[in-house]
């Protein structure tokens, strides 16, 4: 009878331990003893022997109903207790589990059902004490075992199967006769049968209980995982009577376990392969885990982790106290931990920067269960940041010391940055200079031109410049050249960068230079007057002679009887004509040699050339120069100062004439030509047959005071160059292939063609 009760209790304990995935199940006899040892106990492999020894093995269990609402907590384990049978001989079932959510609703239902069936079985055992164990086995045990939540079976001492409960038969869809002996092997997955048989043979040889896992085929052909648990029944002499077993469906649990193992594997792979160090610590701050990256960085092995504050040994001496203090404060307060430290692994001589962080994991009550942290090597980033900061400081120093106003602006023109020179000069703060605050420093007369220039730059998204006066902090205005250039990023956003350069002194110098050039130009004209004296006398002699002759003829015509009125009128007309010619000559000469401001107007370059030829014609004949002219009839007009352009042409003719003074044995040819140059320029060239010059000094010819002539001053050509460049043109000279040289200039055309001017004058001449 005792053996039968034990079988019922062991079956109950095995079923609950496996079916509920708890840590401990046990039975206490209610014998009036306050502290009792378990009559029977089953525990999971995860529950350490130390925990059992620490008080779980002996508990004071109050008698309660089936499922108590109170619990007993020992360590981290929650124990539920319930009375199996009240009365003369009763027992208390104790179930222990470390899961906080234990028991769930499903677990409570399983417990209630198992308690009820076990109590019924034990009551039957006491009522039928006169019945033989064999008849009791066939009756009451079958009823009890059929109701257990598992596939129960028994076998003879040799291992041949004899009995299967109703749930077993229903699950496999076979009869007991089909399963007896070794017929049950047909229900086991072919891949699992050999391992299961080997484990059972081992238990047979050692007369011990055991367990194994294998897949069993359900009646519909589906295989599910089961836990096979076996216990031997021995008689009072220790001889084997029978084997009892219980197969518990663990398919869902195994799938969950496999999934958990897979997750744990992936998590382990993640933590071991992630490119940063991960670690964990107990609530009191003892490091318990470092992944591979962490072990490598810290230069330690896993066995060394729990040995105090070993991790502080590699810290920079200046940081040890502060780092440990911060960690202890986090442990005490539960606040997140974060420090940047210099760490030197034992095998290295160099410190490296690391970012160390940790967060606490808490239970539902807020109690810290574990600290989880990371350690990131930020040395390269930190060094790069320091280098970048140093570079930015150097750049800021350069920008602030540049002798100009450096600035940046947003796409709409609003100021964003102004360097120190900008702010100091204008007397503005950075906030004042931002947006459009800088515009208050622009001279009111120059602001419209500046805004228009900015509008064009922004519209075209291209660099530009404008000159404007900016007010200094003391109120004085000075001229600046303001230049801006756009920077367009990959997204198409525009940002402007620029510099304002003080050109006030340069601008004053340019004004003085223009005045000096004008004075020099006047001097060269005056210096050339002596050489033109003969030409002037010749030009005036003809109209003056005509005036005298016509006046005499008129007097004679009026003194006759009767007076020749018609003839006198004609002579007066000719006299007026010659007087006007003389007046034109003097006016042109006065304009040529007077000091007047330049007057820009629409002029005909052919007409200007003809006027200069008229001045120099006598001098050319005196020096034996043969003149040829090739003036383009369709030459566009130009905008310029007539007198200045006359001076350039005169300087060319004068220079060429002097270059041919020493020519002997060949003709002194001088050719003056005009023509179009490209679509927008006109060109005038003077070609002589003089001594020429070496091509290597082409540029020097136009330098101030450079001359190749014994009596030259080197002024005329330099003045000519300044005049041409002020007309936005260019001037050059080149030696001819045979003899002499050609001097030429090119200036922009206005686009208006003046026709017939010179043909009429040539006819009149």
B/e letters for 256-295, b = 16+ CB within 10 Å, e = fewer, are eeeeeeeeeeeeeeebeeeebbbbbbeeebebebbbebbb
Nearest to 628 by CA among 717, 683, 692, 689: 689
Question: What is the value of pTM for the model shown?
Answer: 0.40
In the chain, count H helices and then E strands: 22, 29
Let me know: does 517 contact 548? Beta carbons within 8 Å.
no
Let me know: does 93 contact 27? Beta carbons within 8 Å.
yes
Within 13 Å of residue 164, how many CA atoms lie on the same side as its CB?
Answer: 24
**DSSP H or E run through 123:** helix 105-127
Residue with tokens 């204008």: 426
Rg (CA), the chain: 60
**DSSP line for 409-456:** E-TTS-EEEE-HHHHHHHT--HHHHTBTGGGGGB-TTTHHHHHHHHHH
Both structure tokens of 563:
């007076």
CATH code of 402-502, in short, is 3.30.450.20
Which residues lie below 8 Å from residue 157, measured CB to CB, with a gap of 6+? 240, 241, 242, 243
Q: What pLDDT is recorded for position 66? A: 43
Q: Where are the domains of the chain?
A: 2-127, 150-254, 274-382, 402-502, 503-597, 598-765
Compute the distance between CA of residue 416 and CA of residue 435 in angstroms, rounded to an integer.
7
Name the H helices within 152-284.
166-172, 176-179, 190-206, 251-273
Those residues of the chain that have pLDDT short of 70 are: 1-5, 7, 18-21, 30-38, 44-90, 100, 106, 113, 117, 119-149, 302-304, 306-308, 516-543, 545-546, 578, 581, 584-598, 696-698, 700-716, 751-765
Largest CA distance in the chain: 199
CATH architecture of 2-127: 2-Layer Sandwich (3.30)
Q: What pLDDT is recorded for position 123? A: 63
* Range 150-254 has CATH code 3.30.450.20: yes
Which residues lie below 8 Å from residue 227, measured CB to CB, with a gap of 6+? 18, 211, 212, 213, 247, 248, 250
> How wide is the angle at C-alpha 123 spanned by C-alphas 122 and 127, nearest 5°?
120
Domains 274-382 and 402-502 share a fold: yes
Backbone phi, then psi, for 529, in 5-degree steps?
-65, -40
Backbone phi, then psi, for 15, in 5-degree steps?
-65, -45
Q: What pLDDT is recorded for position 188? A: 95
Q: What pLDDT is recorded for position 73? A: 46
* Range 598-765 has CATH code 3.30.565.10: yes
* Residues, the chain: 765
**DSSP H or E run through 585:** helix 565-593
pLDDT in tens, 212-232: 999 999 999 999 999 998 888
Strand extents, DSSP E, 11-139: 24-29, 36-37, 40-43, 58-59, 72-74, 77-83, 91-97
Let me know: does 115 contact 82? Beta carbons within 8 Å.
yes
The percent helix, strand, coil of the chain (3-state, each to 5) is 45, 25, 30
Between the CA of residue 523 and those of 595, 613, 703, 716, what are the distances in Å? 10, 21, 17, 10
Tell me how far the alpha carbon of residue 71 is from its chain's centroid.
60
Both structure tokens of 415:
């100021």
Residue with tokens 């599910």: 224
Q: What pLDDT is recorded for position 213? A: 93
Q: What pLDDT is recorded for position 273? A: 74
> Rounded to a whole number, what is the distance in angstroms from the first to the last CA of the chain?
161
Q: What pLDDT is recorded for position 591? A: 56
Compute the distance between CA of residue 502 and CA of residue 468 in angstroms, rounded to an integer.
10
CATH architecture of 274-382: 2-Layer Sandwich (3.30)
B/e letters for 627-637, b = 16+ CB within 10 Å, e = fewer, are eeeebbeebbb
Nearest to 424 by CA among 446, 397, 394, 404: 404
Between the CA of residue 758 and those of 266, 340, 608, 610, 635, what are the distances in Å? 100, 90, 10, 8, 11
Compute the distance between CA of residue 634 and CA of residue 642 in angstroms, rounded to an integer.
19
B/e letters for 508-533, b = 16+ CB within 10 Å, e = fewer, are eeeeeeeeebbebbbebbeebeeebe
Both structure tokens of 62:
């109050």
Name the H helices within 132-175.
133-136, 142-147, 166-172
Nearest to 518 by CA among 664, 342, 719: 719
Task: Specify the DSSP class assigned to residue 49.
Answer: H
Compute the distance between CA of residue 624 and CA of residue 309 in angstroms, rounded to an integer.
112
């Amino acid at each position: 009878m005792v053996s039968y009760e034990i079988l019922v209790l062991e079956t109950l304990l095995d079923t609950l331990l496996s079916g509920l995935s708890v840590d401990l199940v046990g039975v206490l006899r209610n014998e009036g003893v306050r502290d009792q040892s378990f009559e029977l106990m089953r525990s999971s492999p995860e529950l350490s022997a130390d925990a059992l020894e620490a008080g779980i093995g002996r508990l004071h269990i109050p008698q309660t109903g089936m499922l108590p609402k109170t619990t007993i907590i020992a360590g981290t384990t929650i124990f539920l207790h319930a009375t199996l049978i009240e009365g003369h001989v009763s027992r208390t079932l104790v179930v222990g589990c470390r899961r906080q959510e234990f028991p769930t609703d499903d677990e409570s239902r399983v417990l209630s059902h198992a308690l009820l069936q076990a109590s019924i079985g034990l009551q039957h055992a006491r009522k039928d004490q006169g019945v033989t164990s064999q008849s009791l086995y066939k009756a009451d045990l079958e009823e009890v075992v059929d109701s257990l939540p598992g596939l129960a079976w028994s076998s003879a001492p040799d291992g041949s199967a004899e009995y299967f409960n109703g749930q077993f038969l229903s699950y496999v869809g076979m009869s007991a006769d089909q399963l007896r002996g070794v017929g049950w092997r047909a229900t086991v997955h072919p891949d699992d049968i050999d391992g299961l048989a080997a484990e059972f043979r081992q238990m047979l040889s050692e007369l011990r209980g055991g367990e194994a896992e294998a897949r069993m085929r359900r009646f519909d052909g589906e295989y599910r995982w089961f836990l096979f648990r076996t216990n031997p029944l021995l008689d009072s002499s220790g001889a084997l009577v029978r084997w009892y077993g219980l197969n518990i469906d663990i398919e869902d649990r195994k799938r969950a376990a496999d999934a958990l193992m897979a997750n744990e594997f992936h998590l382990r792979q993640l933590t071991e392969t992630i490119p940063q160090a991960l670690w964990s610590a107990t609530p009191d701050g003892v490091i318990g885990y470092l992944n591979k990256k962490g072990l490598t960085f810290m230069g330690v092995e896993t066995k060394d982790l729990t040995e105090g504050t070993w991790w502080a040994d590699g810290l920079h001496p200046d940081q040890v106290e502060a780092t440990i203090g911060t960690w202890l404060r986090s442990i005490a307060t539960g606040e997140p931990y974060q420090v940047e430290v210099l760490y030197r692994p034992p095998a290295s001589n160099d410190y490296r920067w690391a970012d160390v962080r940790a967060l606490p994991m808490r239970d539902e009550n807020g109690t810290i269960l574990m600290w989880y942290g990371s350690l990131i090597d930020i040395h390269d980033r930190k060094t790069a940041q320091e280098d970048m900061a140093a570079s930015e400081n150097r750049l800021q120093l350069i920008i602030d010391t540049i002798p100009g106003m450096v600035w940046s602006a947003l796409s709409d023109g609003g100021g964003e940055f102004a360097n120190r020179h900008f702010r100091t000069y204008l007397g503005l703060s950075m906030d004042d200079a931002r947006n459009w605050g800088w515009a208050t420093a622009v001279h009111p007369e120059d602001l419209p031109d500046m805004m228009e220039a900015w509008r064009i730059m922004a519209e075209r998204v291209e660099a530009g410049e404008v000159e404007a006066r900016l007010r200094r902090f003391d109120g004085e205005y000075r001229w600046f050249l303001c230049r801006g250039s756009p920077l367009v990023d990959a997204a198409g956003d525009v940002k402007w960068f620029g510099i304002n350069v003080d050109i006030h002194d340069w601008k004053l110098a340019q004004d003085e230079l223009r005045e000096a050039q004008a004075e020099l130009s006047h001097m060269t004209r005056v210096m050339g007057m002596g050489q033109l004296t003969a030409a002037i006398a010749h030009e005036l002699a003809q109209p003056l002679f005509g005036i005298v002759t016509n006046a005499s003829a008129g007097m004679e015509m009026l003194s006759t009887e009767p007076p020749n009125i018609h003839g006198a009128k004609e002579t007066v007309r000719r006299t007026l004509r010659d007087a006007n010619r003389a007046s034109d000559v003097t006016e042109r000469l006065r304009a040529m040699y007077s000091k007047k401001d330049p007057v820009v107007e629409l002029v005909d370059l052919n007409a200007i050339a003809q006027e200069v030829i008229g001045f120099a014609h006598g001098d050319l004949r005196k020096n034996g120069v043969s003149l040829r002219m090739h003036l383009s009839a369709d030459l566009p007009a130009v905008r310029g100062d007539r007198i200045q352009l006359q001076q350039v042409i005169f300087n060319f003719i004068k220079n060429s004439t002097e270059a041919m003074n020493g020519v002997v044995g060949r003709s002194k040819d001088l050719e003056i030509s005009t023509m179009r140059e490209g679509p927008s320029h006109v060109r005038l060239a003077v070609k002589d047959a003089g001594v020429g010059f070496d091509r290597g000094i082409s540029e020097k010819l136009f330098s101030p005071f450079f001359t190749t002539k014994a009596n030259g001053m080197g002024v005329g050509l330099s003045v000519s160059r300044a005049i041409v460049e002020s007309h936005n043109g260019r001037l050059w000279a080149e030696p001819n292939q045979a003899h002499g040289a050609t001097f030429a200039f090119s200036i922009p055309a206005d686009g208006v063609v003046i026709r017939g001017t010179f043909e009429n004058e040539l006819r009149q001449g």
